[in-house]
Every structure is written in C-alpha cells, then in structure tokens.
A and B are shown apart, each in its own frame.
Chain A
Amino acid sequence: MRILLVEDNPQLSESLCTALEQAGFAVDAVHDGEAADHVLHTHDYALVVLDLALPRLDGWEVLKRLRGRRARVPVLILTAHGALEDRVRGLDLGADDFLSKPFELAELEARTRALIRRANGLEQARIPCGPLVYDTVTRMFTLHDQPLVLTPREHAVLEILALRAGRAVAKETLTDQIFGMTESGSPEAIEIYVHRLRRKLTSDDISIVTLRGLGYMLETRSAMQ
C-alpha cells in the first residue's frame, strides 16, 4: 500500500510518515503542491493525504487537477481551518474525508485504513482487526489463525462490522445491508446474529459493543487502551 503524503510542515510530515509507516504503509512525502501534482501524474497511490495550505500550488488546485484527470484515488484532506465551507467545497471537489488539525495519530490511521478499504472494496486481500483477520479473496474469517465458522447472515454482519472496525455502525445500516431491498428484516433479527457472533468471537482482544439505541461497533484490543 503506497500512500502519498503532501504536507509542507517538515516536522508534521516526518511524524506522519513515521506513524503511517508504523501502521504498515509505504509513504512518499512531498512538500509542495506542484511536486504533488507532478508525482500524481506519474504514480499510482492507494491514498493521498493532502494538506490544503501548500506552497506553489494549494491543495484545492491539486485536488481539482487530480479529479480533472478522473483519477479515483481516495483523498484525505488535512485542514487547519475545518470551516464548514471548506468541507462542503472539498466534498464538491471530490475529497473523500477530512481531518482537522490537530488530530490524533490513531484517528489518522483509522481513517486511512477505512478509506483504503472503501476504495478497494473487497479487493484488498487481508483485513486485520486485532486477532480477527478477514481474507477478502477467500471470504474467510480467522480468529487467532483459526477459521471461524459462520452462517451467511452472521458472515454478512461481521463483514460490515470488520470493514468499519472501531467505528459505530447503525442498526439500520446493518438491517438494510443484510436484508436488502426486497426482504423485510426486523432489527431483532440483527440482535440475534450479533448474539451468536459474540459467542463465536471467543477472544478477549475483540468484542462487539452494543451502542444503546444506535447500533454496534467492532472493538479491538488496541482501541480499548
């Protein structure tokens, strides 16, 4: 997974490189908009982390040119302003997510993972969530390297939760995706699947958290700390 980091502040750039590399990504860092634009012409990346206030060519312009070439690489915007207009403008220009400075590294890593997963759909081979690993090629879950035996509905629920690990998933989202447009599924049915999944996820390092009135969240040990 190669990520392009476009950030003009050298210390921040260095820290983010380190963090992203620790998270298992390969990172190319450039420090101005023109360099970014140039590199994006010639290289493919799994993700672009783009600061807006850049010398020579600002982040908006880089994004505009990128989308002008119909490049589909996901873009995570780093912004100091975080103003609402910025978000609206960024989304209109084709940004995928925003992170307002200052942020937690964990947040950056989580969003990076989520964006890459989302962009690649299920093409990425192995998605790890603590001791739970989802192999998207074989569509198999393993827990502590042991295959997890699941019914199709349980599999569907766990798949959705795993792809958004660490983030809350609304019950309606689950209901909609499990039962599709034609079937009418009840929220209670989801509760049953979650109950069964909990019994099968027999590890202390991973759990499905119930969010009262909201939905569920797959939580891994690292996030619990």
Chain B
Amino acid sequence: MKTSSTLRWQLAVSLLLPLLVVLIIDAILTYQHSLTAANAVFDRTLLSSAKSIADGARIRNGRLSVDLPHLSLESLEGNVSVRVFYRVDDAEGRRITGYDDLPPPQRPPVFYRPAYYDAEYKGESVRMIALRQPVHEVSAAQTLVISVLVGETGEMRRAFARHMLVKTLWRQALLILLVIAIVLGALHRGLQPLRNLSEEVSTRREDELAPFRAPGRPSELQPLVRALNQYVARIQRMLAARRRFFADAAHQLKTPLAVLRAQVELAEREPELPGVRQRLATMRGSLEDASRGVVQLLALARLENERGDTLPLLPLDLASAARQCALEWAPVSHRQRVDLGVQETVPVKILGNPQLLQELIGNLIDNAIRYAGAGSTITLSTMQLGEQAILIVSDNGPGIPEAERELVFQRFHRGSTARGEGSGLGLAIVAEIAARHQGRIILDETPGGGLTVRVCWPALLPES
C-alpha cells in the first residue's frame, strides 16, 4: 500500500503545484479586474458628487459661490474609512472653496467631460475627478467657468476588489479540490488492474509456476505481465536444471560408490592377507560414511528443491508407521548391539506422505543408533495429546547439551558428544520433512540421561 499512496501523493503534488500557480495568476488578474470594476462603480459616484457640487455653483453679484450639497459628500463619507476631498476653482484656477492643495489634473479637462486621475494627497493615494463646466447667471446674462475636483481615498474600492477576490478564490479552491478528488478517483479506478495483478502475484501458491494470463489486461500492463512471465519461465528452467542436477549427481556419485563398496566387501571376503583385511575394514567404514553422506545430502537437497511442490498427503497411522520403520531398522540396530523397541502405542492419525514419514522416522532411529552407541536402548512411542500427534524417539545415550540443541538442525553440525562417524545431516532432513508436514521438533533430555526427540504434528481428528 506504501507505493500506491506514494504514487497518489506524487500525483497530488504534481497536480497541486501547477494548479496553485494557475490560481495565483488568476487571483492577480481577478484582483485587477475587480479593481477596474470597482473603479467603474465608484467613479460614477465620484462623478455625481462632482456634478452636484458643480450644480451648487451660483453667480451672485458677478462672483461665484458654491453651496455645497452635503448630502452627496456625506453619502460617500458614510464609510468611515473613506475620506473625501474637494476643491472648486474658478476659470483662472483661484480657489473658491475646498482644500486648496488638492492636486489638479495635469491638463485642464474638456468642458463637461470629466477627467479621472489618480493622485497623491496627504501621503495617501486618492482617486480624483476633475469636472470643468460653465455656470450661467441668466438674469445677468453672465457665464463663468468653474472646475470641480473631488477625490476620495481608495479603501472602499480596494475592499470591494478584495471582497470579489476572496469570493473568487473560494470558488476556485473548491474547484481545485473537486478536480483533485476526481483525478484521484480516476487514478484509483485506473490502477485497479495493477492492483489485481499484484494481488494475483502475492496470493500465488509457492509451487504455482504457470504463466500469468495477458488477455483482458490494459495494454500498459502487458510489458509487466510479459516480464513476470519471463521471470516465471526462468524459475521453471532453474528448477528443472536443479532437478536434472540432482538426478545426475545421484547417478554419478552413487554408482561409483556402489562399485567401491562392492569391491571392498568382496576383497574383505578373501581369506588371505589379514593385514590387508584390516585396512579394508577401515576403508569400508569410510565408504559407508561417504555413501551415507552422499545419500543424505542428495535427499536433503531434493527435499529442499521440491519444497514448493505439492506433497500428496494421505491420512495414515503414525503408530503403525513408527512400528513399520522400527521393524525395518531392527536388524541394523541388533547388529550394532542397540536395543531398539516400541512402546505400547495407540493408533494416532495424521495427514502425511508415507515415504517421507518413513524417511523421517528412519533418520531419527539411525541417528539414535549412531549417537547412543552400542549397549544403549532406543524406544519409539506415539501418542495423541489434544490436537497434537506426537512421535517420541528416546535413547539413553550421551544426549545433546541444551546449548547445542538448536545447532544440531543445521547441516553438517555434529554434536560435541557425538561418537563415531556421522554426516550431521540426519536431523536437518528430519526438520525439513517435519516442516513439510506442518510438524515441529523438540529436543529434550531423557529422564536419567540421553536424548528424547519429539516430533509434533496436527493430529487428524475424526470428522473434523
């Protein structure tokens, strides 16, 4: 999930950043536009103020006077933050009333046509209007020209523009969120085939090496499916090569060993040269060890190689398997002067592979015979404890010190108490087979000395 959330995050970031830039540009443009719009609105008010001031101009006794229409000015001053400044001049530019330092426009405006301009007044930027128009005194048939300047500070305009901007921004933010949500949703849907494929890969059984099917998947996934299938094919080839190797190794090693053993045994039967027979006996001992090592090594390698293969498991009786195996090993143990026996057992059902189980029990017996040594006693027993089927092989040999009990499952590890020859592979094979049967092995000390090996499996309960 980590990767997909990263992908989502990356996409969100790569979408958000450009969108943010777009938003900023748009905000600037919007602000400017709002300001223009605000100016259009407020300029009209400014014009009407200027006009009403101009309308209040009279000629009395040949002189201009202005009755200020307070209402029109106040209407602007209704907003506390906005300040309005005005000035009325005569044609010569002499002040009639108002703020005398209010800046005039750069060029005197055309009659009746108001001129708008921005200026600086008392340290503040103000929006100004200049209106130039004649004032008639009908009775005296006199016409004089006045120019009216009205200025106001820009707070309201800016507030208006800001207000417009904020509204627009909110709308756009909402839009962006919607866009991201839609994109993420589409992405989620679009990545579904990829998730399906991952699911398929991860839920595969260990031994399932069939190619992944390509049809029905989006074309973007086809290269991945092809790559996966190439990989699967490579694993198959590797497994096949290994299987061939084991077969070849078995043949190449075991046949010469068989020849050697047969030759040595035949030579031992020759009655002459007792000194040579002594050497032959030693040779045969080494040969037996070599043979056993090769056989066990190949068995273990095969078991490990086939770990993924499905094992045909049958319901079988652990007790009779143990008995069967003990019967097979009885002549060997007897020759080694080891008392191999079976304790009274009750049937215990487990799911298992008969041949592998025989190999497991055989290895435990073989181990016990080797390490407990002549004169020792080995006892096999089976029992069922709750849902556990347990096979116990105990001997009264030297045992294994507690510190070494984990190590003995490693290949080629031989206990410090081990006597005689051994390959150190027996328990590794036992562990491998037990693991393939969902079993586990516990090494313990036999009361009174010796090693007790317990192998526990889930018991096959009747009608469960």
**Interface residues, chain A, with chain B CB atoms under 8 Å away:** 9, 11-12, 15-16, 18-19, 22, 53, 78, 80-84, 87-88, 100-106, 166-170, 209, 211-215, 217, 219, 223-224
| Cβ contact within 8 Å between B291 and A102 | yes
| Cβ contact within 8 Å between B266 and A19 | yes
Which of A87, A88, A211 is the one whose CB lies under 8 Å from B340?
A211
- Cα-based distance from A104 to B292 in the complex (angstroms): 12
Ordered nearest first, which 7 A-B pairs have the shortest CB separation? A212-B341, A15-B262, A213-B342, A168-B330, A102-B257, A102-B258, A84-B355
Chief secondary structure at chain A's binding surface = mixed
Which of B261, B262, B269, B328 is the one whose CB lies under 8 Å from A168?
B328
* Residues of A close to B327: CB separation below 8 A: 168-170, 211, 214-215
| Cβ contact within 8 Å between B250 and A81 | yes
B263 touches A (CB below 8 Å): yes
| Cβ contact within 8 Å between A214 and B266 | no
| Cβ contact within 8 Å between A104 and B335 | no
Output the residue of B294, B330, B335 with the most chain A CB within 10 A: B330
Which of B254, B299, B331, B339 is the one whose CB lies under 8 Å from A102?
B254
| Cβ contact within 8 Å between B341 and A211 | yes
| Cβ contact within 8 Å between B295 and A82 | yes
* Residues of B close to A211: CB separation below 8 A: 326-327, 330, 334, 340-341
- Knowing A168-B327, A168-B328, A223-B335, the reply to whether A212 touches B261 (Cβ < 8 A) is no
- Cα-based distance from A86 to B264 in the complex (angstroms): 28
Contact with A along B298-330 (1 / 0, CB 8 A): 010010000000000000000000010011101
Residue of A nearest to B337 (CB): A224
* Residues of A close to B380: CB separation below 8 A: 213
- Cα-based distance from A168 to B259 in the complex (angstroms): 28
- Cα-based distance from A211 to B260 in the complex (angstroms): 33
| Cβ contact within 8 Å between A209 and B334 | yes
- Knowing A213-B343, A214-B327, A215-B327, the reply to whether A11 touches B259 (Cβ < 8 A) is yes
A-B contact pairs, 13 of them (CB 8 A): A11-B259, A12-B262, A80-B251, A101-B258, A102-B294, A168-B326, A212-B339, A212-B379, A213-B342, A213-B379, A214-B326, A214-B342, A224-B335
B351 touches A (CB below 8 Å): no
| Cβ contact within 8 Å between A217 and B330 | yes
B38 touches A (CB below 8 Å): no
Instruction: Given contact pairs A12-B255, A168-B331, enumerate 10 new A-B contacts (beta carbons under 8 Å).
Output: A15-B262, A19-B266, A105-B262, A105-B266, A212-B379, A213-B343, A213-B379, A215-B327, A215-B330, A223-B331
Chief secondary structure at chain B's binding surface = helix
| Cβ contact within 8 Å between B255 and A101 | yes
Number of A-B contacts (CB under 8 A): 107
Shortest A28–chain B CB gap in Å is 18
Which of A83, A168, A209 is the one whose CB lies under 8 Å from B302?
A83
B247 touches A (CB below 8 Å): yes
* Residues of B close to A18: CB separation below 8 A: 266
| Cβ contact within 8 Å between B254 and A104 | no
B463 touches A (CB below 8 Å): no
- Cα-based distance from A212 to B339 in the complex (angstroms): 8
B124 touches A (CB below 8 Å): no
* Residues of B close to A104: CB separation below 8 A: 261, 265
Output the residue of B327, B328, B341, B353 with the most chain A CB within 10 A: B327
Contact with A along B336-359 (1 / 0, CB 8 A): 000111111000000001011000
Residue of A nearest to B294 (CB): A102
| Cβ contact within 8 Å between B255 and A167 | no
Which of B261, B291, B326 is the one whose CB lies under 8 Å from A105?
B261
| Cβ contact within 8 Å between A15 and B259 | yes
* Residues of B close to A209: CB separation below 8 A: 334
- Cα-based distance from A3 to B260 in the complex (angstroms): 22
- Cα-based distance from A105 to B175 in the complex (angstroms): 90
* Residues of A close to B291: CB separation below 8 A: 102
| Cβ contact within 8 Å between B261 and A81 | no
Residue of A nearest to B263 (CB): A15
| Cβ contact within 8 Å between A16 and B331 | no
| Cβ contact within 8 Å between A214 and B295 | no
| Cβ contact within 8 Å between B255 and A80 | yes
- Cα-based distance from A166 to B327 in the complex (angstroms): 11
* Residues of A close to B341: CB separation below 8 A: 211-214
- Cα-based distance from A15 to B263 in the complex (angstroms): 6
| Cβ contact within 8 Å between B342 and A167 | no
Shortest B348–chain A CB gap in Å is 16
* Residues of A close to B294: CB separation below 8 A: 102
- Cα-based distance from A213 to B379 in the complex (angstroms): 9
Output the residue of A78, A106, A170 with the most chain B CB within 10 A: A170
